[in-house]
Structure 1
């Protein structure tokens, strides 16, 4: 029997533990063997939030520390709820359990190339094509019933109100330029009316970004081939999931923006939609405009938040 998984008091202790695979890999392999799985060729994934080990080329074991149990609940609930409900491949749950208070999932490993490895070198037309597919995928996920994900915390209205209350302090701390901070109060006032708080919620993945999807090439055409990482799912207003691809991928290019929004189902990009998206981008749980807007020189190209929303979502 391998050593037990430890009790870790805080996130810093867990990060140190995760960064030292010899301390936990034997336990992970013991878990795999307990399910009669081949643990002879493990591959430790250095990035990511939890303990993640590839078991050959077919399976992945994800172990969640107790302090991140909410991510296990989110991932487990999402994979179970979306199974068979969208055309894009997602991991399938092969086994689940708990070891020393640490829940885990064993899931299938998807085929394809990590989006972040391919995206920068794609021709512009293929970037537009992939963004349309991402928009279509977001819409497909949001058509799935919530099921157990309706109980995911925090509730959308509570989450949004908390984000609004902390928004100015957050972006001040992160160094957002004063010319953008100056318009924040007006934007938050608009956001209270523009962002539905009590509309029927949908499944929100929160991170449709190149690090979380796979691409595959057929006849020199790259296409979306898989989606993974469902640890930060929320239930809430649908537009929230447009922010990741808008910030990290569309880069203010009109063709990219149009394909993303049309794939999602928006035929018209008007001022109200831009304003709502700008507000949601500042309210996103991972929001940091200085790090996340992939438009070169955007700080110099816009003098306020209204000009910035026109830069990010032209048209």
Structure 2
């Protein structure tokens, strides 16, 4: 245990945590992994590093996953624990089941089941349109299922919705400036948002994963077609009150400006009134600007450019071809 405590500072700053996660070889983590293995009576075997996400991920014998989270964003690990308790095998697509969790020197670890399939991100760009349509429809149905789940009123993942939206609005401009978004576009954000009738409250609490994109989706090939097999990474999940906040991410990173895929996603979800398409487009654009941790330059790189991108109206028509 002395080695573990010396290696992991109890109160690292942000840069120090990033360095520990990014710069250390697999051997660095072995004492902690051995401790977790012994404490929770995990099977004997070797650990393999999974190079994905912002935390340290390790697989044991293709059976379990351990996620190690620094104190700076321990909420992400806790969200995995809380989400597992809320979802509890209620969904048609597999999600991680938390087997154990704990802390070592303020660093949170979560032991989870390893889920079947390969990352959708590894195959998405190679797929035919027909395959993409099938997967988008399956995801829309999953999101509808997720949003219909019964939730206890006192669940720990429920955010104060008014405070949550206020914070998104406060963080919006500084975040886009930090991420290096074009200054002319940044200057247009506040006037653009002021013109919109922003409806962020759908009137009911729902479970929102927040990050349903190819890097967090697993697929298996059956009968010549890929099907969604698992949904990963609930570290940013909340219980909130906006369906569009959930639908936005797959629309950007899976539909990628393809009108047929956008339509398939919305039709399979089937809980939205899409009659006023222009209003829906502007709602999506507004939420895309406010969405937490959004790197808009990366977003724009995921959607083929089909025209000028000098203002948010032009951008909205390319991102959300309704």
Cα offsets for 1:64-86 (capped at 9, x unmatched): 22222211221111111112211
Cα separation, 2, equivalents of 1:27 and 1:160: 38
Change (3 A) 1:162 1:239: same
Q: Mean Cα displacement is larger for which, 242-251 or 261-270? A: 261-270
CA distance in 2, matches of 1:118, 1:140: 25
Residues 150 and 276 (structure 1), Cα distance of their counterparts in 2 relative to 1, 3 Å cut: farther
**Equivalent residue for 1:288?**
295
SS in 2 for 1:61: strand
Deviations 1:113-144 (CA, angstroms, capped at 9, x unpaired): 11110111110111111111111111211112
Aligned partner of 2:305 in structure 1 is 297
Report the 3-state secondary structure (helix = DSSP H, G, I; strand = E; otherwise coil) of the residue aligned with 2:116.
Answer: coil
TM-score scaled by length of structure 2? 0.89
| Contact map agreement 1:149 1:203 (CA 8 A) in 2 | no
Task: State how far apart, in whole Å, the 1-side matches of 2:153 and 2:57 are.
Answer: 25
- Whether 2:245 is the aligned partner of 1:235: answer no
Q: Secondary structure at the residue paired with 1:4? A: helix
Q: Does 2:184 match 1:186?
A: no
SS in 1 for 2:172: helix
Q: How does 1:134-153 map to 2 (within 5 A)?
A: 134-147=139-152, 150-152=155-157
Residue among 9, 12, 16 paired with 1:9:
12
Where in structure 2 are there 5+ consecutive unaligned residues?
Answer: none
CA contact (8 A) 1:118 1:215 kept: no
Query: 1:127 maps to what in 2?
Result: 132
Cα deviation, residue 173, structure 1: 4.0
Report Cα offsets for 1:238-271 as digits up to 9, x if no partner: 2101121111111111111001111221362611
SS at structure 2 position matched to 1:216 = strand
Distance 1:41 1:69 in 2: 26
Q: Distance in 2 between matches of 1:105 and 1:43?
A: 16
- CA displacement at 1:149 relative to structure 2: 7.7
Residue range with higher mean Cα deviation, 4-13 or 73-82: 4-13
Deviation at 1:47, TM superposition (A): 2.6
- Give the aligned CA root-mean-square deviation in angstroms: 2.2
1:275 counterpart residue number: 282
1:164 matched residue in structure 2: 169
Pair 1:226-2:226 in alignment: no
Partner residue in 2 for 1:196: 200
1:14 deviates by: 1.6
From 66, 70, 74, the counterpart of 1:61: 66
Q: Distance in 1 between matches of 2:183 and 2:110?
A: 45
* Residue 262 to residue 35, structure 1, CA distance change in 2 (3 Å): same
**1:102 alignment counterpart:** 107
SS at match of 1:235: strand
Aligned partner of 2:117 among 112, 118, 124: 112
- Gapped runs of 5+ residues in structure 1? none
- Deviation of 1:190 after TM superposition, in Å, equals 4.2
Deviation at 1:202, TM superposition (A): 1.3
Q: Distance in 1 between matches of 2:153 and 2:109?
A: 18
The secondary structure found in structure 2 opposite 1:301 is coil
